[in-house]
Chain A
Amino acid sequence: MIMTGQPALFRQTAFQGMAALVLDVGFFTSQFRLCDKIAEYLGDLVAQSHDDPARYANFSASLINEVIELAFRSVHSGDRVEFNLLKGDDSVYLRVGFRCSEEQLALLRTVDRSRGSTPFPEPARDLMALAHAVGVDVHTEIDRDDHITLTLEFVLSEGPR
């Protein structure tokens, strides 16, 4: 369920951009409730082309919320968190990119090694546990020395109906 090192998969030309949002966390870190708002908003967008948008929005927002909480916990003030929604043929991908500290990156790297196994290492443990439980793929890419991008794949023909 967890993969890294597949940047080719996300050569963005293969997908259509649906939405993008960049937050400068310096302005927002104290506002935890923003996680929830952004999650609901993006969940709504993800679910637009699903058979049952209301229910799929609740489903996708539960995962997106964990990614955003993770991002907000990891970044430092002044950093940016980038959200991109991409549409493939059968899936919508949410990509969340942010800069984080070396220790955190070291820990996140171990996510890859723990592929498929529980318990998942911090700090992505909660996200991975939820994704594993509900059967959603999460890809992690450490794309620069200090930058990580998490990608959630929402397969529109699957999931709740």
Chain B
Amino acid sequence: MNRISSSFSAEFDETNQEIVLSGKMRPQSPREMTGVIDVIQRSLDGSGRIIYLNVKRLTHLNMTAFNALADLLKIACRADPLRTIKVVTSSVIPWSAPLFETLASKEPNLSVDIYDSAFYPGQTFVEDESFIPILRTQTKMTWRHERDILPRHGLRDGLAVADICCGIGDFATLIRREFNPTRLVALDHSKKSLDYARRVAAEFGLNSIEYTYGDASQMLLADGQFDFVTCRHSLQIFDRPDVLLRELYRICKPGGRVYITNEKNSHCLGEPHAESIRWTYEQVAKLFSHFDMDVEMGPKSRRLLNDAGFDDIKVESFMVTNLDGDPRDFADIIEAWENVYAGQMAVRRGDPPEFIRRFRQGFKDHVLAALHPKGYAGWPIWAASGRKPY
């Protein structure tokens, strides 16, 4: 259930002048810290005026380890008062900032920075409140397909399920109702989304979903806990999907499955005005890639799951269209995409007005295709899963 107490490491990233500590650091004696202390010591010796000690991924730390780190940092601070040591942590790990702050209060050249923004490339866009209604309608539309797809990937009643990067929690609520899991944990890094999720769950009288604020790339959840782990539309917004998959793998039980969904945006389509629509969605893919996000990831799912160590990999794709339920819902999603992609992201990239005008036109044509009595509009999604070997 737990990682062994010596599963920790220290690495120095010279380019960023950053020492990164990670894992579970609960040694019995400071001697077990020798390797880590050596790395830190050498990094400090060779560093410039500012050095960062990143502890965002240090999920456990006992006081034996903290004291060893503190002694080292104190000596370093006093040896060179002109050097600044910045401890970088995140509010996800509840004890971390308060504990390191006790050190900062004694050493003027040591500070603690809580680093919750710029966590992943698209954070400012994705955590924007205007994204919430998009996620709602998206899930409503994809659920029509996924409720049938999920059982083919192994979801059934009575499993322990985790939805990682759960957003506003709609999917978790649907899972709760449809598949009656024995345990359901839903994790996200947006406090706003989680507050919303908790409110919605309370309104529906669902009190058994464990919403948790966390970082999907270093979760506080223990190893091998879940039969079915889902991560929807989110691997594609990370610049390091492999890191995330490693964590999904870790919390999954041997024999359990990890289920991911991703898009291939350039394959969004519509009639009429197919050309204009195609051009715009090709630009969407390029725009995301400018911000280090890969919304073309869908068909890469098989390779990603394979490289992460899964077996029995299943991949299928489905198309959300204007013929699934109310076409207005689909049109709303497209308009929301236009607002965020053309209205915010392209502007941030510094695109000229002429480009933005043409970019917006493709979305407008897509809306038209969705609402036109003879029109057809589609959004393709890849659903894939793999089994964690025994």
Could you list which residues of chain A lie within 8 angstroms of chain B, going by C-beta atoms?
Answer: 32-33, 35-37, 40, 51-59, 61-63, 65-66, 69, 126-127, 129-130, 132-135, 159-161
Contact = CB atoms under 8 A, between A and B. Distances in A.
Interface stretch (B61-69, B297-305, B333-341): B61-69
Q: Which 8 A-B pairs have the closest CB atoms?
A: A126-B63, A160-B94, A54-B212, A59-B94, A32-B28, A58-B220, A133-B98, A62-B95
Interface stretch (B1-9, B36-44, B287-295): B1-9
B85 interface: no
Contact of B93 (A33, A58, A69, A135): A58
A129 B103 CA distance: 11
- The listed residue with most B CB atoms (<10 A of its CB), out of A32, A53, A55, A132, is A55
A159 B1 contact: no
Contact of A161 (B1, B2, B213): B213
Given A40-B1, A40-B2, A133-B102, A53 B212 contact: yes
A134 B26 contact: no
A135 B98 contact: yes
Contact of A69 (B62, B95, B101, B219): B62
A69 B24 CA distance: 16
B161 to A, nearest CB: 14
Nearest to A33: B5
A102 B363 CA distance: 78
Given A36-B26, A134-B99, A55 B62 contact: no
Given A36-B26, A127-B63, A134-B98, 18 more contacts: A32-B28, A33-B4, A35-B26, A36-B2, A36-B60, A54-B187, A54-B221, A55-B92, A55-B213, A55-B214, A61-B60, A65-B26, A66-B63, A69-B62, A126-B67, A130-B66, A133-B99, A159-B94
B185 interface: yes
Nearest to A69: B62
A52 B213 contact: yes
18 contacts: A33-B4, A33-B5, A35-B26, A36-B24, A52-B210, A54-B185, A54-B210, A54-B220, A55-B92, A57-B220, A58-B60, A58-B93, A59-B95, A65-B26, A69-B62, A126-B63, A132-B102, A160-B213
Interface in B337-384: none
B2 A37 contact: yes
B94 A66 contact: no
Contact of B99 (A56, A65, A130, A159): A130
B211 interface: yes
Nearest to A58: B220
B65 to A, nearest CB: 11
B198 interface: yes
Nearest to A161: B213
- State the main secondary structure of chain A at its contact with B: helix
- State the main secondary structure of chain B at its contact with A: mixed
Contact of A55 (B4, B64, B66, B94): B94
Contacts of A130: 63, 66, 95, 99
A24 to B, nearest CB: 20
Contacts of A62: 60-62, 95
B250 to A, nearest CB: 14
A54 B63 CA distance: 21
- The listed residue with most B CB atoms (<10 A of its CB), out of A57, A62, A69, is A62
Contacts of B92: 55
Contacts of A161: 191, 213
B64 A52 contact: no
Nearest to A54: B212
B95 A134 contact: yes
Contacts of B94: 55-56, 58-59, 134, 159-160
A55 B222 CA distance: 11
A1 B101 CA distance: 18
B26 A58 contact: no
B280 to A, nearest CB: 40
Contacts of B63: 66, 69, 126-127, 129-130
B22 interface: no
B102 to A, nearest CB: 5
A66 to B, nearest CB: 6
B266 interface: no
Contacts of B62: 62, 65-66, 69
B64 A126 contact: yes
Contact of B214 (A40, A54, A69, A134): A54
B101 A55 contact: no
